[in-house]
Amino acid sequence: MAMKTRIKKAIFPAAGLGTRFLPATKASPKEMLPIVDKPMIQYAIEEATACGIEEFIIITGKYKRAIEDHFDSAYELEESLKRSGKKRLLEEINRLNRINFAYIRQRAALGLGHAILCARPFVKDEPFAVLLSDDIIDPEDTLFKDMINLYKELDCPILALQQVQKEEIHRYGVIDGLKEGDGVYKINNLVEKPRVEDAPSDMAIIGRYILMPDIFEILEGLGPGRGGEIQLTDALQRLLKKRSIYGYLFTGRRYDAGNKVGYLKATIDLALKNPQVSEPVKEYIIEVASRLKKGIRR
Ligand code: UTP
């Protein structure tokens, strides 16, 4: 029997064009947009660190250099913080210092499937995780940890799922599955961005995946799918013919911070959880709510 390999590597695709955030993303990466005081991608990196990931592979592209700089040391800044005795800030910026990052350029934004394929030479023949940083998971939640535990039990690819509203279903990959346990679904089929009447369920695939290296072979042979992109969902659909794939239903809070409203909601909720700003933010929200109630717009 093949021995189960621990998940040590994670891929963070960050080479998308971020068109929904234009003009902010014209020359700077969407993944660097801050939520309260941390760039989006740092939330995903910290989530992975907490679950024992040791190797971090970031897929980047044009105008994405700020990501590399962010996770690099910043000599002048560190010296200046040291001189002015700002120990807490110094610790904060050095917190991720021990992490090793690998950066791979995706030459053109040919789709999420293609972005993952770019990491093949680094992942080689191990199972690995994929985390999309514009899906922000409540940092107190254990989704990714639960997925790793499920993988250990089943030794199969695991996709994170969440129930989404009818109006939103066309934006996701959607599964048809058979419930096998608490939140655990054996996947029968998956469809990328279906029309609501064609959706096999209301369970959408969200941005956390545990995959095995056999997906690379399939991605390699895949042509462009919907929107001319190499779609991960198409590759998973083909993989289904060869092996079992499971879904894990997430019932906690997730923010689709790749769109403006989701991003603003994440900002509000995470500000309310941040002890440095929660009180004044709460007061302000109450003030805004009362203004809105009275019908005052400004
Ligand atoms: P999105 O679907 O959110 O695309 O990609 P996007 O380009 O970032 O944003 P919009 O839709 O134009 O506004 C999901 C994830 O996959 C990455 C993105 O960076 C994001 O983290 N991605 C997407 C790539 O790395 N390469 C691609 O070719 C496409």
Instruction: Report the share of the chain in percent with pLDDT over 70.
Output: 98
> Which of 292, 294, 187 is CA-nearest to residue 243?
187
Whole-number average pLDDT of the chain: 92
pLDDT tens digits for range 232-262: 999 999 999 999 999 999 999 999 999 999 9
User: Alpha-carbon distance 161 to 175, whole Å?
Assistant: 8
Q: What average pLDDT score do residues 98-103 get?
A: 89
CA 21 to ligand 1: nearest atom: 13
Pocket test for ligand 1, best of 11, 12, 17, 137 (most atoms within 8 A of CB): 17
User: Alpha-carbon distance 209 to 113, whole Å?
Assistant: 12
The domains of the chain are located at 9-258, 259-298
In Å, how far are 1, 28, 175, 200, 245 from 186, measured between CA atoms?
Answer: 22, 39, 10, 14, 6
Which class in CATH covers the domain with range 9-258? alpha beta
pLDDT tens digits for range 16-70: 998 999 998 888 999 999 999 999 999 999 999 999 999 999 999 988 889 999 9
Burial of 124 (0-12, 13-18, 19+ CB in 10 A): exposed
Q: What average pLDDT score do residues 222-241 get?
A: 89
User: So what's the pLDDT on residue 298?
Assistant: 63
CA 14 to ligand 1: nearest atom: 19
Cα of 273 vs centre of ligand 1, distance in Å, is 27
Cα three-residue angle 35-286-33, rounded to 5 degrees: 10
User: So what's the pLDDT on residue 260?
Assistant: 95
Using the structure block, give the residue that is written with the tokens 């995959």.
211
At residue 89, does pLDDT exceed 90? no
- Ligand 1: list residues with CB < 6 Å: 13-20, 30, 59, 106, 109-112, 114-115, 132-134, 258
Q: What one-character DSSP code corresponds to residue 72?
A: S
pTM score: 0.94
